[in-house]
């Protein structure tokens, strides 16, 4: 029988209502969560690692890195056929993308979570766990990197994002759609990724900040991030990757100081491109040396830049890692 490792890190899937605090808190161990669906053990032999009981916002870069190291060690074991990782949905897409950029094994890894805690009617954790387990056991799942599986849909870690605060179908891949779905009788893959870059590095740079642009934004927060020791910046621009002209001097100061600066978009989906040529436009920023995030949202652009900086401080190599092989 195949063997699947479940790594539990916390999140809503591990929570239940606590009368003392008046809200949901992490409480369940991995084995307690698995007990909601005894049928999981009919599909595969299971192993369990309790990495922690962290709500999504409590996942730090250090914890994310430690988790990625653990997964790399475990996936290398010949008896392990696939890994399912539970995670708080608030930051799930960031950790999943980190693992995807580091994942070189043909064996699949699937991230899963829950929108409703175990005290709520319609607790979706067990169904999501079963869907994720069935996904990693499929031969078609090999050589596709890291998945995010919720609400019976299979998404690529590089493309998926959380779109709603409470809907069960919150995880969507807005630009290209899901990779497949988990149905009652079988797991269906409709497509595969055409591009899936990886970045090999023994460490990453955690001091990368995101600065959001808005109507009337200036250089204050860009300057502050640089002055406080940021080693790289992601600018959450508007539209195609544009910023107000008053923000340009701060971005230029960051570039002059040797900081790599990446521009992504605050839009729900779409691609960064230097289409416009006015002051503060994507073309203006590009000419100054700002890197383009492609289709990555700001949070994922930050993850990728953190890895790129962990590997090298050479500006040309960072540009290659950030932009080559990207949509």
Catalytic machinery residues: 12, 89
Under 8 Å CB-to-CB from 31, ≥6 apart: which residues? 48
DSSP state letters, 92-114 = HHHHHHHHHHH--SSS-EEEE--
- With beta carbons less than 8 A apart as the criterion, state whether 254 and 226 touch: yes
Transcribe 281-324 into DSSP letters.
SHHHHHHHTPEE-TT--HHHHHHHHHHHHHH---HHHHHHHHHT
| Closest residue by Cα to residue 284 from 236, 242, 256, 235 | 242
Q: How far apart are CA 302 and CA 260, in angstroms?
A: 11
Rounded to 5°, the CA angle 147-130-13 comes to 80
Using DSSP's 3-state secondary structure scheme, residue 151 falls into coil
CB-count exposure of residue 176 (10 Å: 0-12, 13-18, 19+): middle
């Amino acid at each position: 029988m195949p063997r699947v490792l479940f790594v539990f890190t916390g999140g809503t899937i591990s929570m239940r209502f606590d009368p003392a605090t008046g809200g949901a808190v992490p409480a369940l161990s991995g084995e307690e969560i698995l007990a909601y669906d005894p049928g999981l053990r009919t599909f595969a032999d299971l192993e369990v690692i309790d990495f922690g009981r962290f709500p999504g916002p409590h996942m730090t870069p250090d914890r994310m890195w430690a988790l990625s190291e653990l997964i790399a060690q475990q996936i290398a074991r010949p008896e392990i056929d696939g890994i399912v990782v539970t995670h708080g949905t608030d930051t799930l897409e960031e950790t999943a993308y980190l693992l995807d950029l580091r994942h070189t094994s043909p064996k699949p890894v699937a991230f899963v979570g829950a929108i409703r805690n175990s005290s709520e009617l319609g607790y979706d954790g067990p169904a999501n766990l079963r869907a994720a387990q069935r996904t990693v056991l499929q031969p078609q799942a090999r050589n596709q990197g890291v998945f995010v599986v919720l609400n019976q849909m299979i998404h690529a870690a590089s493309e998926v994002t959380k779109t709603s605060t409470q809907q069960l179908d919150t995880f969507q891949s807005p630009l290209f759609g899901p990779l497949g779905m988990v149905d009652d009788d079988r797991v269906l893959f409709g497509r595969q990724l055409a591009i899936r870059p990886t970045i090999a590095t023994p460490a990453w740079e955690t001091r990368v900040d995101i600065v959001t642009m808005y109507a009337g934004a200036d250089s204050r927060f860009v300057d502050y991030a640089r002055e406080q020791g940021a080693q790289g910046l992601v600018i959450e621009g508007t539209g195609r990757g544009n910023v107000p002209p008053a923000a340009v001097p701060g971005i230029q100061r960051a570039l002059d100081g040797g900081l790599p600066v990446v521009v992504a978009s605050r839009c729900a989906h779409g691609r960064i491109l230097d289409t416009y040529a006015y002051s503060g436009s994507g073309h203006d920023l590009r000419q100054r040396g700002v890197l383009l995030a492609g289709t990555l949202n700001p949070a994922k652009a930050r993850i990728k830049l953190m890895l790129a900086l962990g590997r090298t401080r050479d500006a040309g190599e960072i540009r290659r890692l950030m932009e080559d092989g990207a949509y």
